[in-house]
Structure 1
Amino acid sequence: MKYQVGDEFLQELPLILAGPILKHTEPESVTVWVALKQSCQVELKVYNTTDDGQALGNCLLEGERSTVALGKYLHIVAITARSTVGHRLTSDACGGLRLRIYAYDLQFTVADQTLQMQQALCSNSSPTVSISYFDHQKPTFVLPPNRLQDLQIVHASCRKPHGHGFDALPILDCLIEKSANQPQHRPHQLFLTGDQIYGDDVADPSLWVASTLGDALLGWEEQLPVNGAYCTPQQLPPGKRADVATNQAGLTAGLHNKPEKINSHLLSLGEYYATYLLAWSPVCWPVAFPKGHEVTRDRHAIKNWNQTVQHLRQFTYTLWKVRRALANIPMYTIFDDHDVSDDWNLNQAWCLRVLGRPLGRRIVQNALLAYTVFQGWGNTPGQFTAGQPGEKLLAAAQAWSASQGTDAKADQAIARYVGMPANDPHTDLPTFVQDGSVFILDRHPEALTWHYTVRSDRHEVIVLDTRTWRGYPADQKPIAPAMLLCPKAFEQQLVSPLQQIAEQTQIQTTFVIAPTNVFGSQVIDWIHHWHLQQEKVFSTDVGDAWNINTEALAKFLTTLFEERQQIIILSGDIHYSSVARLSYARTHSKLQSVLVQLTASALKNEETLTQLIHTRLKDWLLPEKTRHWTGWINPAKMVEISARQLHRNPQLLTNSDWHCVLEWIPRQSAQTSDCTADILSLIAPWKRAENAKWKWLQPLILWKYRWFQEGREVVGLNNLALVHFELTDASNSCKVIQDLYWFSSWYPTQVVYSRFESQLTPNQSLLR
């Protein structure tokens, strides 16, 4: 049974298919991203407001831009508004402590017709759409404050539509709604740190929608290179792609007897485009899915299909809240592996295996082009202005679609600007160049860069690209763990921005976004090292954690601490959340520094294992212990030492250049969130009815008891993190607080939050 998405269906949809999404926002400019079904000229205006956001004031910034035609029914634009008369947005109102609320509006010119934003959001099938918290129906936002103790940052990662549990991203809408007219309490920035979509591990019903929708959006069917010939996405149906993805594309998600992870892998450009629309907007989802027996005769597949559809129905039920939230807070993103495919660029072996095959190369290029237009454009709009590589890429993407995937020059240009390495003409394998002691993928000088920096008066956020600038050891096997940043990347992504921002003396806190964890659970480290010894590196992403390559980790730490005494890492990836503090000291000087790692994962991808470690079982069976390392600066190196070794031989610390201590911060007892009052909008009626059926069993299930759920180290259920600060004494000493919001398992369902608090000073008792 095919998803009926034709011209008639698409013409019935509203003009806006996804968005508006507020992107890079600063005092001089505001960027808004939107996806449309028709070519338009789009105008953006940013307004001051009065009465705590209730009334619109003067227009301060404005801009306009034409959409880019990525397909017959897919036209995308990221418009940046600026002032022509010297207006500048400010954090506070008239030099006081109260923050300003700003609003923005979009206007669309289609041929000779002009549509206002509310008209463009609605259609006969969607007569009312809310993307505002005010009667004027305009989205609003607040700039980061000029006091660190007022700053509120939200971060999260890993959102798989059919993943278990409730989607935690709609909680952001609740947080904004309750404080929409209180600018000092509104979240100021959102950072999504990886796996915004899943190219692998796609549910069969999701691909059933994305495959047909993608072709309809493009207006043509992509010819995918398979077995020396070509086939279309429709010839590779859901649930039947494992062999093609593994053996033709070389992808690794299905290795080690895990074909279910790759049975419905995204392959075509249209599928990647469609998946982004489906992740952020309810507009293109079908009203109903077919029953399992209508698409397959296999009893096991029928059961899986029907169960997955229930997960997706709950996911789509709250998409309107996700859409509204993303319109009202600046959103910044960076990819991790699943935005392309599991293990993307994990090691040199993966690059040779995948990028050396026509289908593997096509999939990676499709995924990167989709990431560029749906995420990268809004992160760094400056790269997409006239004459810049981004503008050239958009022109190539437009030409590629206009030719229905036959324009070879456009294909080559897309590859060049998204950073695909050239293939050696003799071997058809990707080309590498040497950077110090490692190999890196070769790329064109005009290739886009994905790392960037966000600045305000009091904080800085350095966003790292740890996927495309990896350094593969030249003197080891291709499966050896990579440096997540090669030497050249260390200079470009860390040293340069740290030294540049050092001149801004008002900045009080430095955030670094590392999509893969810098420090993880010690048990996971043991598992990774064991798999590395067994050469089963693709089974558990061996090499994605920084502390597997200790040379790279040592260089990372010394680079940071040469420029900053306080660092906050925002990270995700691992499907559980936690807080860890690293205290660092130079051996022969008084220099001491601190790094606090705040991990938030997953938005929607909890698993049986993470549900277990969420409880007190982990405290009882596998508690995290304090860990010690000694290190050297030149060459960069670090060695872990046990507490017993340190007790027997304290001289171990004096024989190195520096030493550090890692401790896990305990989580406090869960507290009920104000969002509980809005619980009916977060849980679909059929899900509430299902919960009610089992209400009588609830008191009998030990697993559901609140006491048992109050683990001490991690939050292993779907969650969203809110980061803020608190002054602790008159000397302006500060602590960072991470509140992790999650759905409680005790009945009735509540949204609760677990608080983690860490001082932003080294732990002196552990350094002695």
Structure 2
Amino acid sequence: MNNPFGEKFLQELPLILAGPILQHTESDAVTVWIALKRPCEVVLQVYDTANRGELITNLLFEGRRRTFALGKFLHIVAVTAESAGSHLLSSDRIYAYDLQFIESSTQQQTLATALCSRRFPAVNISYFDHQKPTFALPPTDLQDLRIVHGSCRKPHGDGFDALPILDCLIESAANQPNKRPHQLFLTGDQIYGDDVADPLLWVSSQLGDALLGWEERLPVTQYTAADPSYYTPKQLLPGYRADIATHQAGFTAGLHNKTAKVSSHLLSLGEYYASYILSWSPACWPSSIPQGHEVMHGHRVSRRWDKEVRDMQQFTHTLWKVRRALANVPMYSIFDDHDVSDDWNLNQAWCLRVLGQPLGRRTVQNALLAYAVFQAWGNTPKQFAAGQPGERLLQAAADWSASGGMNGAVENAIARYLGMPPINPSTNLPEFVQYDAVLVLDRAPEALTWHYTIRSFCHEVIVLDTRTWRGYPADQKPIAPPMLLSPPAFSQQLSQPLEQVNHKPKGRSQLQATFVIAPTNLFGLEVIDWIHHWHLKRDKVYGVDVGDAWNINYEALAKFLTTLFEQRRQVIVLSGDIHYSSVVRLTYTRKSLGSEKKSVLVQLTASAFKNEEKITEIIHTRLKQWLLPEKNRQWIGWNNPPYMLEISSKKSYRKSLSHRPPEWHGLMEWVHRKITKTAEFGHNISWLMTAEQHARNLKWELFQYLTFWKLPWFQDGREVIGLNNLALVHFEIDNNNSSKVIQDLYWFSTWYPIEIVYSRFESELSHSRLSI
């Protein structure tokens, strides 16, 4: 079979492989990330507009930066344009930006020309005639704030990709600065390192090598002298990686008879790089993918290959809308496990099993390096400024590529900057440091931090890293559930941001809302909690992610709640991970010196963008509320030491009082969704389906009334959204200053004709605005 990613393919690629993606954006600085085919100096210019965004006017900011050569045909930069002090961006205007690409003193390209090629003669990333991408800063009034969030986007997952709905949201209000989305938060699993479709690995592996210009030598353990010491990605074929991923790399996704989850696991740096590009841009997808019988041996696996190809063709069909959306709203993100591999750092046993293997360690490092370049750089651009650890990491990544992956000193430098734990030379196992009663993976002082805080005119967002700062119980078995934030992580990631003096931008109003991004949810379905505890008692922790939910470790959850409510009366937690969406409200009452202090936490969960499953499709319907409705749950807790205990009856409550009186009480309630409505842009969605998908739907349209479970009435469950969805968060404040947070969850209807619909969840906060 001819190589589809040869010289001809590379020549036909546009200069811009992925992006532009608008990232960290403040009143005095704007950052745009972009991936290019050739090295350039990239110039970013930010403009004011008039006539509600229609006319480009004054140049406000300008910045420039050279790309870093991460491969022969992969050059990446996140360029920041900053204020010189004479002007700050305000919250009630639409701004535009432009890019220029200077390849030499005589050769440069505009944004319009850099996007296009023979395969892509016309690329539109704007909502206006001037063809420039635009954005609006968050408002000064909480009622006007619009935040979008979601998680878990697997290209071959079931159902339509929900992320393109973001493009519809922006397009419908592009000329209204207080109505269009102001920030996008991706809360985990932006790509999947495990559970990769065979044809997607086929594309990623070859594209990755083509962009790098070299083949990585992936280290493996030699058990006999005849065993190979390394494999290249092309030697590890799609569908045949289960054994090496499980036994040589140590990954746990393939345990418990789930080898299909790792049979096409990403391993090489090029594969992780390529996965991001393929998730965000249509530019590098090949024009055709071979049929299953040309690649796979066996009828069953060949049929599965062809089905996954159709799924990915549907995915790529709407990528143009994803690309346009990401260019027009500031995007922030944080990893969860699948950005590396399922169960990443789940417990101490996982760390010892994977990081103690040369291939496991290399793969985790490859995934983290890809995350640093494709996500973290835009989240925290100051970490990657000149002279900072991030810039040194970028240079080391360029040197690693220039050496063809052969420079051991550079590899070690990358590990230090990424925070990979050192390996004990005596045991060949990762090093831990003990804090109080827990063990934490060791890291170098110059390592990057993945957590960060965003502060705007009326709200703050504290983004947590619950993967690399876990606290593993030192006095329990290695599979014991960890604290998702170890003691030093609680201080650095939560206590310090909450206590910081507000650095108010000019004209900033009073802080009115605090958001916390927790990739793994605090509270979930009660039956899931029961399953987790059942599996934990039987030491089967990997199959159902025992230890990833906060409420499997009550000490950590109690500390999380008390830390938050010491500083804030209202908190909104955004989370994902669990492949369904919901809203729960926790009322926290603390008793002190005969008085009561009430606080409120609302958890807004949004998952998945594209990964619905049969079980989530069932709990989405009325069947869930009929057979297994969620009930209110109550906890009592103590502050020193932090702990909490669930009480299910008056008897258990009185029994708990026999030890010592509780210091606080928590009541969790499930918020029910309103009747499903059609979005104002939801009727005409001809862009959604490929011709093949449309023909298949027409074929079954006549039978829709025989499938009652797909009809609107049955799909109107009360508690969760179990189909692929995207969340829009906004607020209502009445004349009495009482505030309400609203999560509108957009999804594709199951009935005909297919529409974009939304389900609304409303939760009261308190009767007064938050005062910090």
1:95 corresponding residue in structure 2: none
Distance 1:419 1:750 in 2: 45
Distance 1:230 1:503 in 2: 51
1:541 corresponding residue in structure 2: 545
Moved more, 461-470 or 289-298: 289-298
2:226 corresponding residue in structure 1: none
Q: Which runs of structure 1 show a deviation greater than 3 angstroms over 4 or more consecutive aligned residues?
A: 501-505, 643-654
For residues 48-100 of structure 1, give each alpha carbon's deviation from its aligned partner in whole angstroms, at most 9, with x where no partner exists. 00000000010101100000000000000000001225211111xxxxxxx20
2:678 corresponding residue in structure 1: 672
2:382 corresponding residue in structure 1: 382
Name the CA shift for 1:129/1:300 in 2 (closer, same or farther; >3 Å): same
Is the Cα–Cα contact under 8 Å of residues 45 and 62 in structure 2 kept in the other structure?
yes
SS in 2 for 1:677: coil
| Residues 203-214 of structure 1: pairs in structure 2 closer than 5 A | 203-214=197-208
Distance 1:2 1:701 in 2: 45
Query: What is the one-letter code of the residue matched to 1:566?
Result: Q
Residue 580 of structure 1 pairs with residue 589 of structure 2: no
Distance 1:412 1:12 in 2: 36
Distance 2:234 2:3 in 1: 11
| Residues 424-443 of structure 1: pairs in structure 2 closer than 5 A | 424-443=424-443
CA positional deviation for 1:705: 1.7
Query: What is the one-letter code of the residue matched to 2:522?
Result: V
Distance 1:200 1:23 in 2: 26
CA positional deviation for 1:293: 1.1
In the alignment, which of 124, 127, 142 is matched to residue 130 of structure 1? 124
Residue 16 of structure 1 pairs with residue 16 of structure 2: yes
Name the CA shift for 1:665/1:643 in 2 (closer, same or farther; >3 Å): farther
| Residues 298-309 of structure 1: pairs in structure 2 closer than 5 A | 298-309=298-309
1:106 corresponding residue in structure 2: 99
Distance 2:654 2:588 in 1: 21
SS in 1 for 2:303: helix
Is the Cα–Cα contact under 8 Å of residues 332 and 379 in structure 1 kept in the other structure?
yes
1:750 corresponding residue in structure 2: 755
Distance 1:459 1:645 in 2: 42
Distance 1:566 1:3 in 2: 56
For residues 159-203 of structure 1, give each alpha carbon's deviation from its aligned partner in whole angstroms, at most 9, with x where no partner exists. 000000000000000110011111121000000000000000000
Name the CA shift for 1:296/1:54 in 2 (closer, same or farther; >3 Å): same
Name the CA shift for 1:551/1:650 in 2 (closer, same or farther; >3 Å): closer
Is the Cα–Cα contact under 8 Å of residues 44 and 63 in structure 1 kept in the other structure?
yes
Distance 1:705 1:677 in 2: 17
| Residues 65-464 of structure 1: pairs in structure 2 closer than 5 A | 65-91=65-91, 99-111=92-104, 112-228=106-222, 229-464=229-464
Distance 2:561 2:550 in 1: 11
Residue 508 of structure 1 pairs with residue 512 of structure 2: yes
For residues 599-632 of structure 1, give each alpha carbon's deviation from its aligned partner in whole angstroms, at most 9, with x where no partner exists. 0000000000000100111101111110010000
CA positional deviation for 1:675: 2.5
CA positional deviation for 1:654: 8.4
Is the Cα–Cα contact under 8 Å of residues 199 and 265 in structure 1 kept in the other structure?
yes
2:489 corresponding residue in structure 1: 489
Query: What is the one-letter code of the residue matched to 2:397?
Result: A
Query: What is the one-letter code of the residue matched to 1:118?
Result: A
CA positional deviation for 1:436: 1.2
2:765 corresponding residue in structure 1: 760
Distance 2:659 2:575 in 1: 29
SS in 1 for 2:635: strand
Query: What is the one-letter code of the residue matched to 1:629?
Result: W
CA positional deviation for 1:247: 0.2
For residues 518-544 of structure 1, give each alpha carbon's deviation from its aligned partner in whole angstroms, at most 9, with x where no partner exists. 111110000000000010000100000
For residues 718-761 of structure 1, give each alpha carbon's deviation from its aligned partner in whole angstroms, at most 9, with x where no partner exists. 00000000013x23110000000000101111110000000003
Distance 1:2 1:252 in 2: 35
CA positional deviation for 1:253: 0.3
| Residues 637-652 of structure 1: pairs in structure 2 closer than 5 A | 637-645=643-651
Distance 1:646 1:541 in 2: 29
Is the Cα–Cα contact under 8 Å of residues 594 and 762 in structure 1 kept in the other structure?
no
Residue 703 of structure 1 pairs with residue 714 of structure 2: no
TM-score by structure 1 length? Answer: 0.97
2:606 corresponding residue in structure 1: 600
1:552 corresponding residue in structure 2: 556
SS in 2 for 1:587: strand
CA positional deviation for 1:590: 2.0
CA positional deviation for 1:302: 1.1
Query: What is the one-letter code of the residue matched to 1:432?
Result: F
Query: What is the one-letter code of the residue matched to 1:30?
Result: V
- Percent identity of equivalent pairs: 66
Query: What is the one-letter code of the residue matched to 1:755?
Result: R
Distance 1:491 1:242 in 2: 40
2:737 corresponding residue in structure 1: 732
Distance 2:268 2:611 in 1: 24
CA positional deviation for 1:295: 1.0
Query: What is the one-letter code of the residue matched to 1:107?
Result: Q
Moved more, 106-115 or 339-348: 106-115
Query: What is the one-letter code of the residue matched to 1:381?
Result: P
Is the Cα–Cα contact under 8 Å of residues 221 and 358 in structure 2 kept in the other structure?
no
SS in 2 for 1:676: coil
Is the Cα–Cα contact under 8 Å of residues 630 and 652 in structure 1 kept in the other structure?
no
Structure 1 stretches lacking a partner, 5+ long: 92-98, 764-768
1:693 corresponding residue in structure 2: 699
Name the CA shift for 1:501/1:333 in 2 (closer, same or farther; >3 Å): farther
SS in 2 for 1:250: coil
Distance 2:146 2:658 in 1: 41
In the alignment, which of 528, 531, 550 is matched to residue 524 of structure 1? 528
1:718 corresponding residue in structure 2: 724
Give the aligned CA root-mean-square deviation in angstroms.
1.5
Is the Cα–Cα contact under 8 Å of residues 646 and 652 in structure 1 kept in the other structure?
no
Residue 632 of structure 1 pairs with residue 626 of structure 2: no
Distance 1:134 1:585 in 2: 50
TM-score by structure 2 length? Answer: 0.96
SS in 2 for 1:460: strand
Is the Cα–Cα contact under 8 Å of residues 736 and 767 in structure 2 kept in the other structure?
no
Is the Cα–Cα contact under 8 Å of residues 39 and 75 in structure 2 kept in the other structure?
yes
CA positional deviation for 1:39: 0.3
CA positional deviation for 1:707: 1.1
CA positional deviation for 1:386: 1.3
Residue 33 of structure 1 pairs with residue 39 of structure 2: no
SS in 1 for 2:99: strand
Name the CA shift for 1:340/1:650 in 2 (closer, same or farther; >3 Å): closer
Query: What is the one-letter code of the residue matched to 2:43?
Result: E
Query: What is the one-letter code of the residue matched to 2:521?
Result: N
SS in 1 for 2:339: coil
Distance 2:610 2:38 in 1: 32
Distance 1:689 1:424 in 2: 59
1:96 corresponding residue in structure 2: none
SS in 2 for 1:161: coil
Distance 1:185 1:349 in 2: 48
Distance 1:249 1:297 in 2: 25
Distance 1:143 1:685 in 2: 38
For residues 392-431 of structure 1, give each alpha carbon's deviation from its aligned partner in whole angstroms, at most 9, with x where no partner exists. 0001000000000011111011000000000000000000
SS in 2 for 1:397: helix
Query: What is the one-letter code of the residue matched to 1:209?
Result: V
CA positional deviation for 1:502: 5.8
CA positional deviation for 1:114: 1.1
